[in-house]
């Protein structure tokens, strides 16, 4: 009779195998809780934890429990069959927590064990992008798609890269391809909806948002996008109601803080608007849009002295936007300081391009030189040193430092932009334009566009600048900064009718000034 019973080891092996099947099925569906339960049960039943360490770590990561995930993933060894996946998950954990060198080392171990895992290449692309290696990130994302042309994560990431590299319209086919494979994928639906909204296809965006809300009830991104849509349509009350449903989940998202401030301002709750704009500026001190909104809100409350404090020293800069100058001048009028008011109001009416001005260094040149000498290939030490060199009039050394930083980070668009900025300040306009063009081949976003436009116009290549703006707007229609630049460019060529048509579009969308 006993001989007919299976051995206890065989039973344990079957329990372990069944647990893995159930866990992997749950993980494929994105259900970390359902994946964890059978794995824990298998361990309690006698299975060695090393056999399920990778899958259990993934289940905990999926639930957002990084502390327990770390304990599991670093608590021992992985079974040989799951070692590549285990090292991959260690890298993913380090990436989520911002430990980029540790993430890179873990991914390298995983690559040596299994170099054909598309999910691993997706995370490598994310690591490279986070670390400023945009060109290398694009290569990794491309490789992931080649390994798995129908993988939703690979298609989503490639779409995101394409959106940065070429523009909004170019990204749509990638998200659509992913949704044909996985029509209920939350990540793809969110990116698709956001991209549709950015190109002005609001009805299509709303359809996708509703699908996202059906697939994932209470999805905060779907709610946020619908709130943005309502705000753009002037439905302030509805937008506020939708945004309230997100609770505190978007509390630290700068875009949501900005939207909250705008909605409270429109609703007449100026004190709440001031709180939102002030908080956003603490998070992003260089955010000029938020600063202008704060100044305007303070002025509405009659707090002109506070408004002037918020505007200064930004309104003193040569690059200060006309709207900030106008607000500052009006605040000076209200405080009775007519001489200062006249200066700012006059500057606000000037037609022309803002001059480029470097940010002043916060420390002495010698101190910054010492810090740079210890870490010459890091932006954190090189950028302040470059600013100090420019301030000291040593343009040649500033270019040399920026060039070294770029060579150390060849795939970083920002490194090319910095080198271009340094050359432009040294009056090497052609060199700057070449550097900006190289940055654009990696990431053609608004920051790159503005620099290329400035360099082209300073070289007298106005028609080329206008053509470039038109190309950018074909991919990114409705971008207010690009539209304003194009209006200025048309007017500078004597095409006042063309400029007026563009300005009418801005006016109809409420984009001439904030709020």
The percent of residues in the chain predicted with pLDDT above 90, rounded, is 61
- CATH code of the domain in which 380 resides: 1.25.40.10
**Residue 2 — very low, low, confident or very high, per pLDDT cuts 50/70/90?**
very low
- Whether residue 370 is found in the same domain as residue 321: no
Q: Which of 349, 375, 402 is the last residue of a domain?
A: 349
**DSSP 8-state assignment for residue 460:** T
End-to-end CA distance of the chain: give it in Å, rounded.
84
pTM over 0.95: no
pLDDT higher for 502 or 444? 444
For the ranges 239-243, 353-357, 467-471, 506-510, the lowest mean pLDDT is seen at: 353-357
Q: Which helix (H) or strand (E) holds 152?
A: helix 152-165
- Whether residue 300 is found in the same domain as residue 327: yes
**pLDDT for residue 158:** 96
- Does 387 fall in a domain? yes
Residue 490 reports pLDDT greater than 90: no
**pLDDT for residue 122:** 97
- Whether residue 436 is found in the same domain as residue 489: yes
Residue 378 belongs to domain spanning:
365-508
**pLDDT for residue 68:** 96
CA neighbor of 23 nearest in space, from 37, 41, 11:
37
- Whether residue 406 is found in the same domain as residue 495: yes
- Whether residue 380 is found in the same domain as residue 416: yes
Residue 315 reports pLDDT greater than 80: yes
- Whether residue 345 is found in the same domain as residue 372: no
Query: HSE on the CB side for 273, CA within 13 Å?
Result: 25
Q: How distant, in Å, are the alpha carbons of 115, 400, 423, 433 from that of 397?
A: 43, 5, 11, 19
Residue 26 reports pLDDT greater than 70: yes
Q: Which of 296, 321, 349 is the last residue of a domain?
A: 349
- Whether residue 328 is found in the same domain as residue 392: no
- Whether residue 344 is found in the same domain as residue 393: no
- Does 33 fall in a domain? no
- Does 374 fall in a domain? yes
**Residue 3 — very low, low, confident or very high, per pLDDT cuts 50/70/90?**
very low
- Does 396 fall in a domain? yes
- Does 113 fall in a domain? no
- Whether residue 298 is found in the same domain as residue 371: no
Burial bucket for residue 451 (CB in 10 Å: 0-12, 13-18, 19+): buried
Q: Which of 349, 375, 409 is the last residue of a domain?
A: 349
How does pLDDT run across 98-121, given as a tens digit for each residue?
999 999 999 999 999 999 999 999
Average pLDDT over all residues of the chain: 89
**Residue 4 — very low, low, confident or very high, per pLDDT cuts 50/70/90?**
very low
For the chain, how many structural domains are there in total? Answer: 2
- Does 197 fall in a domain? no
- Whether residue 384 is found in the same domain as residue 492: yes
Alpha-carbon span 198 to 8, nearest angstrom: 61
How does pLDDT run across 407-427, given as a tens digit for each residue?
998 889 999 999 999 999 999
pLDDT higher for 207 or 15? 207
- Whether residue 315 is found in the same domain as residue 396: no
- Does 262 fall in a domain? yes
Whether residue 388 contacts residue 382, with contact meaning beta carbons closer than 8 Å, is answered with no
- Does 96 fall in a domain? no
How does pLDDT run across 265-311, given as a tens digit for each residue?
999 999 999 999 999 999 998 898 999 999 999 999 999 999 999 99
Q: How many helices (H) and strands (E) does the chain have?
A: 29, 0
Residue 506 reports pLDDT greater than 80: no
Residue 16 reports pLDDT greater than 90: no
Task: Give the tokens for residue 116.
Answer: 């054909």
- Whether residue 295 is found in the same domain as residue 422: no
């Amino acid at each position: 009779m006993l001989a007919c019973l299976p051995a206890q080891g065989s039973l344990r092996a079957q329990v372990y195998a069944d647990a893995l099947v159930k866990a992997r099925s749950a993980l494929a569906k994105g259900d970390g809780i359902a994946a964890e339960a059978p794995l824990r049960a298998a361990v309690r039943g006698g299975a060695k934890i090393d056999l399920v360490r990778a899958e259990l770590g993934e289940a905990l990561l999926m639930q957002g429990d990084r502390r327990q995930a770390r304990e599991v993933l670093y608590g021992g060894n992985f079974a040989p069959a799951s070692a590549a996946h285990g090292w991959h998950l260690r890298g993913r954990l380090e990436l989520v927590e911002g430990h980029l060198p540790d993430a890179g080392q873990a991914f390298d171990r995983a690559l040596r064990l299994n170099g054909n895992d598309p999910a691993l290449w997706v995370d490598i692309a994310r690591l490279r992008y986070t670390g400023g290696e945009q060109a290398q990130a694009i290569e990794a994302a491309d490789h992931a798609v080649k390994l798995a042309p129908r993988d939703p994560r690979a298609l989503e990431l490639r779409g995101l890269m394409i959106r940065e590299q070429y523009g909004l319209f170019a990204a749509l086919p990638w998200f659509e391809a992913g949704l044909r494979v996985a029509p209920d994928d939350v990540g793809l639906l969110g990116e698709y909806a956001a991209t549709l909204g950015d190109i002005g296809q609001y009805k299509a965006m709303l359809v996708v948002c509703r699908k996202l809300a059906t697939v994932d009830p209470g999805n905060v991104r779907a709610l946020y996008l619908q709130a943005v849509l309502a705000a753009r349509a002037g439905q302030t009350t509805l937008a506020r109601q939708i945004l309230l449903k997100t609770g505190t989940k978007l509390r630290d998202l700068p875009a949501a803080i900005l939207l909250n401030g705008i909605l409270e301002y429109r609703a007449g709750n100026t004190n709440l608007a001031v709180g939102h704009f002030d908080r956003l500026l603490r998070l992003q001190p260089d955010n000029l849009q938020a600063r202008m909104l704060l100044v305007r809100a303070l002025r509405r409350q009659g707090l002109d002295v506070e408004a002037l404090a918020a505007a200064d020293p930004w309104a003193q800069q040569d690059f200060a936007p006309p709207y900030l100058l106008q607000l500052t001048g009006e605040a000076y009028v209200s405080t009775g300081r007519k001489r200062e008011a006249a200066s700012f109001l006059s500057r606000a009416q000037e037609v022309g391009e803002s001059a480029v001005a470097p940010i002043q260094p916060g420390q002495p040149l010698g101190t910054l030189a010492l810090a740079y000498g210890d870490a010459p290939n890091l932006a954190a030490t090189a950028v302040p040193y470059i600013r100090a060199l420019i301030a000291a009039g040593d343009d040649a050394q500033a270019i040399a430092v920026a060039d070294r930083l770029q060579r150390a980070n060849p795939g970083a668009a920002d490194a090319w932009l910095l080198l271009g900025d340094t050359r432009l300040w040294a009056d090497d306009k052609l060199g700057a334009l070449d550097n900006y063009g190289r940055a654009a081949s990696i990431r053609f976003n608004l920051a790159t566009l503005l620099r290329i436009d400035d360099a082209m116009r300073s070289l007298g290549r106005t028609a080329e600048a206008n053509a470039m703006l038109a190309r950018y707007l074909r991919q990114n229609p409705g971008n207010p900064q690009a539209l304003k630049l194009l209006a200025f460019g048309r007017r500078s060529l004597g095409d006042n009718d063309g400029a007026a048509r563009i300005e009418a579009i801005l006016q109809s969308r409420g984009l001439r000034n904030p709020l």
